[in-house]
């Protein structure tokens, strides 16, 4: 609890630790409310600095005893509080410190440190959870070799796991208890420590690495759920192989284990050799998981596995370097998915996510650089900026250097920094060294927040056959950064000719080997020669840089050239999105002044062309048929936003598409029905995605036939993807079929918490005024639990993040409801409470009435004197003037 204004942690204050710890021997005796932890630490002074007291971090700890070199430490030699253990007269030589603490895992509602998920004991130590287990130098640059002995009642926890390889196990003679000893030979920071104990079932497999070593694989789940682990295991093996081929990275221990738990603050955690997962990202069967669930499982399994090298073998020097492991590992998992599925579809999906979350964050009060320089609570920096923009920054390095030099730079990074706690500078230096490039300007991507805005003017001179581009760049002010310096921006591009083909590129008669412009100045011009006809510009191909781009391109050029021909699939999709966005923005204005929204024949025709093009991937067509989201529209408007008008404009456009193209949509729906049993592969999933987009657009017409089709699909579905898609469609229509389907869904899946999460989330997203009362009632439903983060995210998270009109009710009741929930949750689970609170981050962009309501709710939360550091930090930054 906050008793004083918390002091920020600053990057510039970083100092190497005064002390280091070489080995950690843990002895953990599990007990539901009184687990004892004996930690034997080999401590030594770091270098030959002036003598300093040894100050170990703690959080909510109860000390039993402390011994130095085997002797009890006299009480005058140390000071112990719940959050610190200070050895005042520490000897300036290596010594052994033995600390005994006692923990209450059953009442650990923060889900940090050692806690219980159901009956299972598990840990979460990133970022600062290890200090809730024992007093420690809980910082990532203190790397130690861990040996962990665990003992427990055999009946309560027959399975005992920790990091590394199993060294010993057995019964404790004369008792009903048993033990296991795990040894991890790789030095690691404390945040990668993990321990699990419980009654778990497992699915086993093996993997032979590229050098021929056989690795045992095991996924642990609650008994009875083994048959839902096969896709996760298959994904793991594909990820292990891919990392060998794509990055030359081989797995290093004898065993790799994953444990799925039902209560987890995050998605999953890359603890060395023992990943702990939110079971949402492990458990899947055709009857319980959607295509989206399958692809998330594949991506998260890969992400955590890839951390073994980018995060575990090479870790972060301090938490400011979080993007060093997260941005890089997100980039790696995105590339994995692109190779496993469809590169174009993956890129479009990633950019949609980036714009929906990171661009919004970058434009609001919580904006921060990819590498922040100050934090009050590090848990609040596991953000879209660190993860997703961090991945874009790595992608830009690859675009600038090219494939071969990028790989050489990565190889050098692994060689040079293996076993170290590294910095962003050291990472980027590897690319500078292999390429000879000066990367200093590029480093601004790590230090400057805000989304760069690029404006392009072009002039074609037919007589000179030249094309001149004038390009300006600027980065908007963000909190703490009023002025910015120009960025180094790789802008991939092509010039599209009249026949839809790319024209050859030349500058001063010299051919360009590749279509990438490097922007480095606030204003720059580029002149292309030998341009035989007036081209259409295709800029930022593949979304080569995370920027906002303004190009004076007419609707006609967008339609006739880019939407129809662009060889770059991303820009083909973008062209249609841009047309739809222009139309939607105009219609928002029209609707707010009581006028009828406009239609656009050009857009309608472009959609028809895409729908009828059998050469296109169904997943791509599905993405193209989905207009920009309400959040996209709000972000584009940027100020005085009326969420009701954005919703209405989008709904009217979808209804218009449904009416205009009902015949071809219905035919496509039928054509995409796949015979035979469900398969989760990308092609089958793409066909279902397109089928279900057609279903949804047709239902937008409100015709009885279309609603009936959705209800029939709901009833007859033989897989969760089709059933949930039908329910998602019915969700938006106040018809008897909707009530019947929600009722039926609950009856079918009442015993399956992960499936019931979908039921909560869809009801919370109903765009109607009655939804708030429905959500309130659901918080009292037997299946809801405020102790479980997945339930909270499904119900409250969905309402606050996915229901733009009802969270942003003009009477402020949506804000008040979420604020009340946050205040109630905060003392129990501050991390999840803070996450919910970030739903308010765009409050300043709203129209006046809602803005005032949102501010009142924010100020009410801020006035609470017992807020956690997590929620206090989010609210203070959200309300700050800049
Ligand atoms: Zn990660």
Q: Could you give the CA distance from residue 219 to residue 200 in angstroms, rounded to a whole number?
A: 10
What separation in Å is there between the alpha carbon of 140 and the centre of ligand 1? 15
Ligand 1 centroid from CA 268, angstroms: 8
Q: Which residue has the tokens 């391109």?
A: 553
Rounded to whole angstroms, how far apart are CA atoms 776 and 793? 14
Residue 535 CA to residue 584 CA, distance in Å, equals 27
Ligand 1 centre to CA of 479 (Å) is: 26
Q: Of 96, 130, 101, which Cα lies nearest the Cα of 28?
A: 101
Cα 847 to ligand 1 centroid, rounded to whole Å: 37
460 in helix, strand or coil?
strand
Q: What is the DSSP letter of 209?
A: -
* Predicted local confidence at residue 214, as pLDDT: 98
String of DSSP letters for 128-168: TTGGGTS-B--STT--EEEEEEEEEETTT-SEEEESSEEEE
Distance from the alpha carbon of residue 335 to the mean position of ligand 1, in angstroms = 15
Centre of ligand 1 from the C-alpha of residue 389, in Å: 13
Spacing, Cα 270 to ligand 1 middle (Å): 7
SS3 content of the chain, % helix, strand, coil (to 5): 45, 20, 35
Q: Which residue out of 126, 128, 304, 346 is catalytically annotated?
A: 304
How many other C-beta atoms are found inside a 10 Å radius of the C-beta of residue 506? 14
Å from CA of 126 to ligand 1 middle: 10
Q: What is the DSSP string of 797-851?
A: IHHHHH-HHHHT-TTSHHHHHHHHHHHHHTTT-HHHHHHHHGGGTTGGGB-HHHH
**DSSP character string of 329-380:** HHHHHHHHHHHHS-HHHHHHHHHHHIIIIIIHHHTSTT---SS-SEES-GGG
For residue 90, how far is its CA from the centre of ligand 1 (angstroms)?
36
- DSSP code, position 465: T
Ligand 1 centroid, distance to 445 Cα (angstroms): 20
Q: Has 12 been annotated as catalytic?
A: no
Distance from the alpha carbon of residue 337 to the mean position of ligand 1, in angstroms:
15
Q: Mean pLDDT by 10-residue block, N- to C-terminus, for the chain (882 residues)?
A: 70 96 98 98 87 93 98 96 95 96 98 97 98 98 98 98 98 98 98 98 98 98 97 98 98 98 97 98 98 98 98 98 98 98 97 97 97 97 98 98 98 98 98 98 98 97 96 98 98 92 89 93 96 94 97 82 84 94 97 96 93 95 97 97 98 98 98 96 98 98 98 98 98 98 98 98 98 98 98 98 98 98 98 98 98 98 97 98 72
Beta-bridged to residue 114, according to DSSP, are 123
Query: How many CB atoms sit inside 10 A of residue 119's CB?
Result: 15
CB 866 within 8 A of CB 1: yes
Q: What tokens appear for 441 in the block?
A: 């300007």
Distance in Å, CA 727 to ligand 1 centroid: 32
The answer to whether the CB of 189 falls within 8 A of the CB of 140 is: yes
* Cα of 227 from ligand 1 centre, angstroms: 26
In angstroms, what CA-CA distances link 258 with 157, 190, 273?
17, 19, 8
Tokens of 185: 């030979």
* Cα–ligand 1 centroid distance for 303 (angstroms): 6
What's the gap in Å between 384 CA and the centre of ligand 1?
Answer: 12
- Spatial distance between the Cα atoms of 228 and 463, rounded to a whole number of angstroms: 67
Output the CA 267–ligand 1 centroid distance in Å: 9
406 vs 435: CA distance, rounded Å: 9
Q: Identify which of 195, 108, 133, 185 has the alpha carbon closest to the alpha carbon of residue 159.
A: 195
The two structure tokens encoding residue 313: 């073998």
């Amino acid at each position: 609890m906050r008793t004083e204004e918390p002091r920020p942690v600053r990057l510039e204050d970083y100092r190497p630790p005064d002390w280091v710890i070489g080995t950690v021997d843990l002895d953990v005796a599990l007990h539901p409310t009184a687990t004892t932890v004996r930690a034997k630490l080999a401590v030594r002074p770091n270098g030959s600095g002036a003598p300093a007291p040894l100050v170990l971090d703690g959080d909510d700890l109860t000390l039993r005893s402390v011994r130095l070199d085997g002797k009890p430490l006299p009480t005058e030699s140390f000071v112990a509080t719940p959050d610190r253990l200070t050895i005042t007269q520490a000897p300036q030589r290596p010594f052994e410190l033995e600390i005994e603490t006692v923990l209450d895992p059953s009442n650990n509602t923060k889900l940090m440190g050692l806690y219980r998920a159901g009956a299972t004991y598990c840990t979460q130590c990133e970022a600062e959870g290890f200090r809730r287990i024992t007093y420690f130098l809980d910082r990532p640059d203190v790397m130690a070799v861990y040996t962990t002995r665990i003992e427990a009642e055999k009946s309560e926890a027959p399975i005992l796991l920790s990091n590394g390889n199993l060294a010993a196990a057995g019964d404790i003679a004369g008792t009903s208890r048993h033990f296991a000893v795990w040894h991890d030979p790789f030095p690691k920071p404390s945040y990668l420590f993990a321990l699990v104990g419980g009654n778990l079932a497992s699915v086993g497999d093996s993997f032979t690495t590229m050098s021929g070593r056989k690795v045992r694989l095991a996924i642990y789940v609650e008994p009875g759920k083994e048959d839902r682990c096969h896709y996760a295991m298959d994904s793991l093996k594909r990820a292990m192989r891919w990392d060998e081929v794509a990055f030359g990275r081989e797995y290093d221990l004898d065993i790799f284990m994953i444990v799925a738990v039902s209560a987890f603050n995050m998605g999953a955690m890359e603890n060395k050799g023992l990943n702990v997962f939110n079971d949402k990202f492990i458990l899947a069967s055709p009857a319980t998981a959607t295509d989206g669930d399958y692809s998330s499982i594949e991506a998260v399994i890969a992400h955590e596995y890839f951390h073994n090298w980018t995060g575990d073998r090479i870790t972060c020097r301090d938490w400011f370097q979080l993007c060093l492991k997260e941005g890089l590992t997100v980039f790696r998992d995105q590339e994995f998915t692109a190779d496993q599925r469809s590169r174009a579809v993956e890129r479009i999906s990633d950019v949609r996510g980036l714009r929906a979350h990171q661009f919004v964050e970058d434009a609001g009060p919580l904006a921060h650089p990819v590498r922040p320089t100050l934090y009050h609570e590090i848990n609040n920096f596991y953000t879209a900026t660190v993860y997703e923009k961090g991945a874009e920054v790595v992608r830009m390095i690859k675009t600038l250097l090219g494939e071969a030099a990028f790989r050489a730079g990565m190889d050098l990074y692994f060689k040079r920094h293996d076993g170290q706690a590294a910095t962003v500078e050291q990472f980027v230096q590897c690319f500078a060294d292999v390429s000879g490039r000066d990367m200093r300007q590029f480093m601004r991507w790590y230090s400057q927040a805000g989304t760069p805005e690029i404006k392009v003017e072009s002039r074609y001179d037919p007589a000179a056959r030249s094309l001149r581009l004038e390009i300006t760049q600027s980065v908007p002010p963000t909190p703490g950064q009023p002025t910015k310096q120009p960025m180094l921006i790789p802008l991939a591009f092509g010039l599209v000719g009249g026949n839809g083909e790319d024209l050859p590129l030349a500058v001063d008669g010299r051919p360009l080997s590749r279509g990438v412009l490097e922007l480095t100045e606030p204003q720059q011009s580029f002149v292309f020669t030998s341009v035989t006809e007036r081209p259409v510009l295709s800029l930022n191909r593949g979304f080569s840089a995370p920027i906002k781009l303004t190009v004076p391109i007419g609707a006609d050029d967008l339609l006739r050239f880019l939407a129809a021909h662009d060889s770059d699939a991303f820009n083909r999709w973008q062209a249609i999105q841009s047309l739809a966005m222009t139309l939607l923005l105009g219609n928002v204005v029209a609707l707010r002044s009581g006028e009828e929204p406009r239609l656009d024949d050009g857009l309608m025709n472009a959609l028809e062309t895409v729908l009828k093009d059998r050469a296109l991937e169904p997943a791509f067509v599905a993405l193209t048929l989905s207009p920009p989201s309400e959040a996209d529209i709000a972000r584009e408007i940027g100020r005085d936003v009326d969420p009701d008008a954005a919703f209405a404009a989008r709904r009217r456009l979808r209804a218009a598409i449904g009416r205009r193209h009902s015949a071809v949509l219905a035919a496509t729906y039928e054509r995409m029905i796949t015979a035979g049993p469900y398969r989760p592969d990308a092609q089958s999933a793409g066909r279902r995605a397109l089928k279900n987009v057609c279903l949804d657009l047709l239902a937008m017409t409100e015709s009885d036939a279309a609603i009936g089709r959705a209800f029939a699909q709901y009833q007859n579905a033989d897989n969760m993807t089709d059933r949930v898609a039908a329910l998602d469609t019915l969700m938006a229509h106040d018809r008897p079929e909707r009530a019947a389907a929600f009722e039926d869904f609950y009856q079918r899946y009442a015993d399956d918490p992960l499936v019931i999460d979908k039921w909560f989330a869809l009801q919370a997203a109903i765009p109607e005024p009655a939804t708030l009362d429905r959500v309130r009632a659901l918080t009292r439903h037997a299946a809801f639990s405020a102790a479980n983060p997945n339930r909270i995210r499904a119900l409250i998270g969905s309402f606050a993040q996915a229901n733009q009109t009802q969270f942003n009710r003009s009477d402020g009741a949506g804000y008040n409801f979420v604020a009340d929930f946050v205040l109630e949750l905060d003392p129990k689970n501050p991390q999840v409470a803070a996450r919910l609170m970030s739903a308010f981050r765009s409050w300043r962009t709203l129209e006046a009435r809602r803005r005032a309501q949102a501010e009142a709710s924010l100020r009410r939360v801020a006035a609470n004197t017992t807020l956690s550091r997590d929620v206090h930090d989010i609210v203070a930054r959200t309300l700050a003037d800049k």
